[in-house]
């Protein structure tokens, strides 16, 4: 019974509020114009409109993110790249081989002849000349005869001389125990160039003869006879002469 009464009261309360709301709506609808005029007169509508526009104009502040300015960095110095080239081992060039001289026919040899040259200071020096020499029996004999005969045109043009007296004749050569006995004609005893001429003619003979491996010294003979001296200067011919005999004139 009590519960029924409570339900009835709650139903009456709901109906009361509904009726009140409806009443307010009816009053508002009938007095709408009057309410709008009152709101316009008081400026309440303008105030609402401004607040609405202000709300629409308000935009959230834009967030500006400042980018840090790039810092200029000094260019990195690149270390120079060293290119190490392995040193090539020097290639030793083989010396050019001289072409061998053409072969000589039989009974012909290349002989070394010694002539003289007068230097600018007046000194007399020996110069070598290679000649092909033809021989029958003794290459040494023919080589000395070629020396006595004198110079060729090309040798004269190169400034060479011979101080063996003109007209000298070689009678013969005999070799015994390394000593070559050379027999010359009388002309060999007389040299117009004095002591230097005598020394030069003897050196020409001795150096040319000792180019042969079988000869170490030369004994000078005049017409088959041994003489103690050569020329008025008295150059000794008493014993065989070697290259060392002319180390000091």
Mean pLDDT of 175-189: 96
Confidence of residue 20 (pLDDT cuts 50, 70, 90): confident
Specify the DSSP class assigned to residue 241.
B
Mean pLDDT of 54-80: 54
pLDDT at residue 187 greater than cutoff 90: yes
Domain layout of the chain by residue ranges: 1-39, 108-246
What is the rounded distance in angstroms from the CA atom of residue 217 to the CA atom of residue 114?
A: 16
What is the rounded distance in angstroms from the CA atom of residue 50 to the CA atom of residue 61?
A: 21
Which of 243, 165, 230 shows the shortest CA–CA distance to 195?
Answer: 230
pLDDT at residue 38 greater than cutoff 60: no
Mean pLDDT of 163-176: 96
Most confident range, picked from 83-87, 99-103, 121-125, 215-219: 215-219
Helices 32-42 and 2-30, axial angle in degrees (round to 10): 60
């Amino acid at each position: 019974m009590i519960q029924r009464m409570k339900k009835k009261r709650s139903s009456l309360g709901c109906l009361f509020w509904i009726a009140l709301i409806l009443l307010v709506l009816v009053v508002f609808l009938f007095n709408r114009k009057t309410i709008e005029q009152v709101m316009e007169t008081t400026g309440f509508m303008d105030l609402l409109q401004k607040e609405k526009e202000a709300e629409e104009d308000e935009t959230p502040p834009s967030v500006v993110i400042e980018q840090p300015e790039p810092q200029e960095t000094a260019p990195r110095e690149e270390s120079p790249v060293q290119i190490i080239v392995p040193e090539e081992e020097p290639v030793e060039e083989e010396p050019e081989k001289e072409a061998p001289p053409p072969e000589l026919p039989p009974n012909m040899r290349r002989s070394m002849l010694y002539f003289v040259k007068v230097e600018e200071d007046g000194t007399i020096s020996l110069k070598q000349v290679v000649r092909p020499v033809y021989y029958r029996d003794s290459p040494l004999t023919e080589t000395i005869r070629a020396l006595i005969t004198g110079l060729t045109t090309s040798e004269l043009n190169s400034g060479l001389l011979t101080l063996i007296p003109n007209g000298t004749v070689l009678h013969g050569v005999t070799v015994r125990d390394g000593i070559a006995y050379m027999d010359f004609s009388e002309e060999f005893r007389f040299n117009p160039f004095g002591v230097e001429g005598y020394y030069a003619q003897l050196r020409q003979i001795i150096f040319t003869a000792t180019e042969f491996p079988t000869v170490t010294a030369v004994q000078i003979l005049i017409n088959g006879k041994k003489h103690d001296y050569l020329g008025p200067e008295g150059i000794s011919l008493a014993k065989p002469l070697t290259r060392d005999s002319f180390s000091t004139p």
